[in-house]
Homo-oligomer: A and B are copies of this chain.
Amino acid sequence: MGRIVTLLTDFGTVDGFVGAMKGVVLSRAPEAQVVDLTPEIDSHDLRAGAWALCEASRTFPAGTIHVAVVDPGVGTQRRPILIQHDKQLFVGPDNGVLCLAAPAGPAWHLDNPKWFCEEVSSTFHGRDIFASVAGHLASGVPPTACGTPISDRIRLEQSRASRRGDTIIGEVIHVDRFGNLITNIARTDLVQAPGWAVTLGDLSVGEIRGTFGDVARGEWVAYVGSSGYVEIAVREERADARLAALGTKKPMVTLCRN
Could you say which residues of chain B place their CB within 8 Å of the CB of A59? 20-24, 27, 127
Minimum C-beta distance from A44 to chain B (A): 7
Could you say which residues of chain B place their CB within 8 Å of the CB of A61? 23, 26-27, 30
- Do A20 and B55 have beta carbons less than 8 Å apart? yes
Once A20-B55, A60-B23 are accepted as A-B contacts, the answer to whether A226 and B123 lie under 8 Å apart by CB is yes
Judge if A151 is at the interface, Cβ distance under 8 Å: no
Work out how many copies of this chain go into the complex: 3
Judge if A33 is at the interface, Cβ distance under 8 Å: yes
- Do A22 and B35 have beta carbons less than 8 Å apart? yes
Q: Which of A88-136 contact B (CB under 8 A)?
A: 121-124, 127-128
- Do A35 and B26 have beta carbons less than 8 Å apart? yes
From A45-53, A162-170, A189-197, the one touching the partner chain is A45-53
- Residues 179-215 of A, flagged 1 when their CB comes within 8 A of B and 0 if not, give 0000000000000000000000000000000111110
Minimum C-beta distance from A227 to chain B (A): 8
Starting from the known contacts A16-B52, A22-B35, 5 additional A-B residue pairs (CB-CB under 8 Å) come to A13-B38, A13-B40, A13-B52, A14-B177, A23-B58
